[in-house]
Amino acid sequence: MSDALRTLYQEVILDHYKHPRNWGRLPQPTGHADGHNPLCGDRLSVDVQLEGDRVADIRVEGQGCAISVASASMMSEALKGRTVDEAQTLFERFHEVVTGRSSADGPSLGKLAVFAGVAEFPARVKCATLAWHTLRAALCPQPGPVSTE
Ligand code: ZN
Protein backbone atom coordinates (compact mmCIF):
# COMPACT_ATOMS: atom_id res chain seq x y z
CA MET A 1 0.00 0.00 0.00
CA SER A 2 1.39 3.45 -0.89
CA ASP A 3 1.96 6.06 1.81
CA ALA A 4 -0.56 8.37 0.12
CA LEU A 5 -3.23 5.69 0.19
CA ARG A 6 -2.41 4.83 3.78
CA THR A 7 -2.78 8.49 4.76
CA LEU A 8 -6.13 8.69 2.99
CA TYR A 9 -7.32 5.58 4.80
CA GLN A 10 -6.24 7.02 8.14
CA GLU A 11 -8.14 10.22 7.38
CA VAL A 12 -11.34 8.33 6.58
CA ILE A 13 -11.08 6.31 9.79
CA LEU A 14 -10.33 9.40 11.89
CA ASP A 15 -13.27 11.27 10.34
CA HIS A 16 -15.67 8.47 11.29
CA TYR A 17 -14.10 8.22 14.76
CA LYS A 18 -14.55 11.94 15.42
CA HIS A 19 -17.99 12.14 13.78
CA PRO A 20 -19.55 8.68 13.98
CA ARG A 21 -22.62 8.24 11.77
CA ASN A 22 -25.95 6.79 12.92
CA TRP A 23 -24.89 7.19 16.55
CA GLY A 24 -27.43 6.83 19.35
CA ARG A 25 -30.42 4.62 20.03
CA LEU A 26 -33.58 3.69 18.16
CA PRO A 27 -36.89 4.30 19.98
CA GLN A 28 -38.26 0.80 19.31
CA PRO A 29 -35.60 -1.46 17.81
CA THR A 30 -36.56 -4.93 16.64
CA GLY A 31 -33.13 -6.13 17.78
CA HIS A 32 -30.48 -4.99 20.23
CA ALA A 33 -27.15 -6.35 21.43
CA ASP A 34 -24.22 -5.20 23.53
CA GLY A 35 -20.68 -6.08 22.55
CA HIS A 36 -17.40 -5.94 24.45
CA ASN A 37 -13.81 -6.38 23.34
CA PRO A 38 -11.95 -6.88 26.63
CA LEU A 39 -8.53 -6.85 24.95
CA CYS A 40 -8.93 -3.19 24.02
CA GLY A 41 -11.81 -2.06 26.24
CA ASP A 42 -14.17 -1.30 23.34
CA ARG A 43 -17.88 -1.39 24.24
CA LEU A 44 -20.60 -0.97 21.63
CA SER A 45 -24.39 -1.30 21.59
CA VAL A 46 -26.21 -1.90 18.33
CA ASP A 47 -29.91 -1.25 17.69
CA VAL A 48 -31.51 -2.48 14.47
CA GLN A 49 -34.93 -1.92 12.97
CA LEU A 50 -35.86 -4.70 10.60
CA GLU A 51 -38.67 -4.38 8.09
CA GLY A 52 -39.21 -7.87 6.75
CA ASP A 53 -35.70 -9.10 6.09
CA ARG A 54 -34.33 -5.62 5.39
CA VAL A 55 -32.31 -3.41 7.75
CA ALA A 56 -34.48 -0.30 7.70
CA ASP A 57 -32.46 1.53 10.34
CA ILE A 58 -29.47 1.00 12.56
CA ARG A 59 -27.88 2.89 15.45
CA VAL A 60 -24.70 2.32 17.34
CA GLU A 61 -23.66 3.71 20.70
CA GLY A 62 -20.67 3.19 22.90
CA GLN A 63 -17.02 3.93 23.42
CA GLY A 64 -13.88 2.48 22.00
CA CYS A 65 -10.71 3.07 20.06
CA ALA A 66 -10.66 4.78 16.67
CA ILE A 67 -10.77 1.48 14.79
CA SER A 68 -13.79 0.11 16.66
CA VAL A 69 -15.82 3.33 16.49
CA ALA A 70 -14.98 4.04 12.83
CA SER A 71 -15.78 0.45 11.90
CA ALA A 72 -19.16 0.70 13.66
CA SER A 73 -19.92 4.02 11.97
CA MET A 74 -19.04 2.77 8.50
CA MET A 75 -20.85 -0.52 9.07
CA SER A 76 -24.03 1.40 9.91
CA GLU A 77 -23.77 3.33 6.65
CA ALA A 78 -22.99 0.23 4.62
CA LEU A 79 -25.86 -1.86 5.99
CA LYS A 80 -28.82 0.51 5.93
CA GLY A 81 -31.28 -0.77 3.36
CA ARG A 82 -29.54 -4.12 2.94
CA THR A 83 -31.14 -7.47 3.59
CA VAL A 84 -30.01 -9.65 6.49
CA ASP A 85 -28.42 -12.05 3.97
CA GLU A 86 -26.51 -9.20 2.34
CA ALA A 87 -25.35 -8.02 5.76
CA GLN A 88 -24.02 -11.52 6.56
CA THR A 89 -22.22 -11.70 3.21
CA LEU A 90 -20.66 -8.29 3.74
CA PHE A 91 -19.52 -9.30 7.23
CA GLU A 92 -17.87 -12.41 5.84
CA ARG A 93 -16.06 -10.36 3.16
CA PHE A 94 -15.03 -7.74 5.73
CA HIS A 95 -13.76 -10.41 8.11
CA GLU A 96 -11.68 -12.05 5.35
CA VAL A 97 -10.09 -8.72 4.46
CA VAL A 98 -9.26 -7.54 8.00
CA THR A 99 -7.75 -10.94 8.81
CA GLY A 100 -5.69 -10.82 5.61
CA ARG A 101 -7.31 -13.95 4.15
CA SER A 102 -8.62 -12.01 1.15
CA SER A 103 -7.54 -8.82 -0.60
CA ALA A 104 -9.72 -5.73 -0.51
CA ASP A 105 -9.73 -5.55 -4.30
CA GLY A 106 -12.59 -8.00 -4.69
CA PRO A 107 -16.26 -7.09 -5.01
CA SER A 108 -18.70 -5.35 -2.74
CA LEU A 109 -16.59 -3.98 0.09
CA GLY A 110 -16.87 -0.32 -0.96
CA LYS A 111 -15.56 2.19 1.55
CA LEU A 112 -15.02 -0.58 4.11
CA ALA A 113 -11.85 -1.40 2.16
CA VAL A 114 -10.11 1.26 4.27
CA PHE A 115 -9.87 -1.38 7.01
CA ALA A 116 -7.64 -3.64 4.91
CA GLY A 117 -4.62 -2.18 6.76
CA VAL A 118 -5.91 -3.76 9.98
CA ALA A 119 -4.66 -7.11 8.66
CA GLU A 120 -1.13 -5.90 9.47
CA PHE A 121 -2.14 -5.51 13.14
CA PRO A 122 -3.74 -8.78 14.30
CA ALA A 123 -4.50 -7.34 17.76
CA ARG A 124 -6.81 -4.77 16.12
CA VAL A 125 -8.89 -7.28 14.18
CA LYS A 126 -11.22 -7.65 17.16
CA CYS A 127 -11.59 -3.87 17.32
CA ALA A 128 -12.59 -3.77 13.65
CA THR A 129 -15.05 -6.66 13.92
CA LEU A 130 -16.68 -5.91 17.30
CA ALA A 131 -19.54 -3.88 15.78
CA TRP A 132 -20.16 -6.62 13.23
CA HIS A 133 -20.27 -9.41 15.81
CA THR A 134 -22.62 -7.25 17.89
CA LEU A 135 -24.82 -6.54 14.90
CA ARG A 136 -25.07 -10.24 14.15
CA ALA A 137 -26.23 -10.82 17.72
CA ALA A 138 -28.81 -8.03 17.34
CA LEU A 139 -30.14 -9.73 14.21
CA CYS A 140 -30.20 -13.21 15.78
CA PRO A 141 -30.70 -12.73 19.51
CA GLN A 142 -28.68 -14.94 21.83
CA PRO A 143 -28.76 -14.73 25.60
CA GLY A 144 -26.10 -12.64 27.28
CA PRO A 145 -23.71 -9.95 26.07
CA VAL A 146 -21.34 -10.48 23.15
CA SER A 147 -17.64 -10.77 23.83
CA THR A 148 -14.82 -11.10 21.34
CA GLU A 149 -13.20 -13.56 23.79
ZN1 ZN B 1 -10.15 -1.28 20.06
Q: How far is CA 120 from CA 61, 65, 76, 99, 135, in A?
A: 27, 17, 24, 8, 24
Does domain 3-140 fall under CATH 3.90.1010.10? My reply is yes
Residue 11 has pLDDT above 70, yes or no: yes
Among 27-41, 73-87, 93-107, 114-128, the least confident range: 93-107
Kindly give the distance from the C-alpha atom of residue 69 to the centroid of ligand 1, in angstroms, as a whole number: 8
Residues 6+ apart with CB under 8 A from 99: 119, 122, 125
Question: Exposed, middle or buried: residue 102 (CB in 10 Å: 0-12, 13-18, 19+)?
Answer: middle
- Centroid of ligand 1 to alpha carbon of 39 (angstroms): 8
Cβ atoms of 131 and 71 closer than 8 Å: yes
How many angstroms is it from 40 CA to the middle of ligand 1? 5
Q: What is the CA radius of gyration of the chain?
A: 14
Rounded distance from Cα 41 to ligand 1 centre (Å): 6
Q: What is the pLDDT of residue 147?
A: 80
How do residues 99-142 score in pLDDT, each as one tens digit?
998 887 766 788 898 898 898 888 899 999 999 999 999 998 66
Q: What is the pLDDT of residue 123?
A: 87
**What's the CA-to-centroid distance between 53 and ligand 1, angstroms?**
30
